[in-house]
Amino acid sequence: MNRLRLLLATNNVGKIAEYRELLRRVPLDLVTLGDLGKVLEPAEDGTTYRENAILKAGAFAAERPDLMVLADDSGLELAVFDGWPGIHSVRFAGPGANDATRRRLILGRLGYRPAPLRQARFVCAVAVAQGRQILIEGSGQLDGSIALAESGSGGFGYDPIFISSGHVHTLGELGQREKNRISHRALAVAQIRAFLAQAASAGGT
């Protein structure tokens, strides 16, 4: 019986590491774009995380109908700025900007605003596709606030400046196991894990 092969439609090494951990108990073979030598970059011109996740999943699934594809879109939303940067969380700083630059710009714009004005949340939408069909979707949200300064070297992206509700340390300080228990991506994956497990038990494609 063939094992299910699931393509992770991202080049973000941090996301890939998280998905490997979040799906480690599902008997499937994870395939990365690097494994395939893929350079396809679908346009992320949707107006919501869900739309962008579907666009990415659909684009890769149409090109590789032999694989099931998982794609996501996620972002950081600051309450005081009406949800900015949101779906533009990676692109708002311009081409070539790295995670450190984006964190610095977020902290700079917030300045020394007090805690009530530092409320934020992470949002994630995931979509699984095969061929030209979206098979299942999931979403997750993690509420919290933005720290006054970076702390911690774990995780990726905005983790070193984000403090989840009920914690005093940033996600960058929590450690991968704890982050994967509470994160927006973990909550989204929880909604599709049973589907993937069932597909895997059926033998994949």
Establish whether the linkage from the previous residue to 27 is cis, with ω within 30° of 0.
no
Instruction: List Cα–Cα distances, 94 to 24, 99, 102, in angstroms.
Output: 34, 12, 9
DSSP-derived 3-state class of residue 149:
coil
d(C-alpha 72, C-alpha 88), whole Å: 14
User: Which two structure tokens, joined as six digits, stand for 93?
Assistant: 């700083």
Say which of 29, 45, 66, 73 is annotated catalytic: 73
Active site residue 73: yes
Q: Please give the Cα distance from 121 to 77 (Å, whole number).
A: 5
Which helix (H) or strand (E) covers residue 183, if one does?
Answer: none
Q: Which residues are catalytic?
A: 73
